[in-house]
Amino acid sequence: MTWEVSAQSLEPKLRTKRRGTKSSRPLLIVLSGPSGVGKDAVLARMRKLGCPFHYVITATTRPKRAREKDGMDYHFLSRKKFQQMMDGHQFLEWANVYGNYYGVPRDEITSALSTGVDTIVKVDVQGAASIKKILPQAVFILLMPPSEEELGKRLRKRHSESPTDLALRLEKAQEEIKSLPLFDYVITCRQNKLDEVVSQIDAIVAAEKCRVKPRIVQL
């Protein structure tokens, strides 16, 4: 099954300096997509290229994978600590995904936006839908795999899912693609072409900075 989306390609040169002026409103970018599409890889590449964002770190109760670092890839929390943060309303949104909890720390977003820094947060499609209800003025970007077959290859390559979990994630991905109208932009994430994806995100941010009526995100 092919999931290619026809859209005009946006491929400007990458810019590592802040777009616009200090008086421009900071943006909240919500980056989402099916499990295995490459969200973490894209964000890692953006950081390496020096893209000027505050990168919100998601909290989770799932086990840490090989080469992941606490406080960089995720905040790895115990279920007790996660529950305490939930009870204290410290998450912008949270969800139970495949038996593990994931949550977006509210204070990371508020502090970054209050200082005028464009902020990017990574969530699954369910999380993006929740944030859309709370902060509709955020910019919502969906990363898509070129095809279902390609997504399956990426998930198998991780060696972190059982055959049952793999089938579940692929089935869920088919449902998540139906949420396309929720998003403002869609980008096909091809393997080994991360710079192209980053360039398109950069172009989206540059275009948003030129809006006559700027997005105003308030928490």
Position 160 scores a pLDDT of: 61
Taking CA atoms, 25 is separated from 43, 94, 138, 158, in Å, by 22, 26, 11, 38
Position 171 scores a pLDDT of: 73
Q: How far apart are CA 120 and CA 45, in angstroms?
A: 13
Q: At what angle do helices 148-158 and 163-177 cross, to 10 degrees?
A: 140
HEC profile of 17-86 = CCCCCCCCCCCEEEEECCCCCCHHHHHHHHHHCCCCCEECCCEECCCCCCCCCECCCEEECCHHHHHHHH
* Boundaries of every domain in the chain: 28-208
Position 75 scores a pLDDT of: 95
CATH homologous superfamily of 28-208:
P-loop containing nucleotide triphosphate hydrolases (3.40.50.300)
Position 209 scores a pLDDT of: 94
Give the pLDDT confidence of 92-106 residue by residue, as tens digits: 999 888 789 999 999
Position 10 scores a pLDDT of: 39
Q: Which residues of the chain have pLDDT under 70?
A: 1-23, 158-161
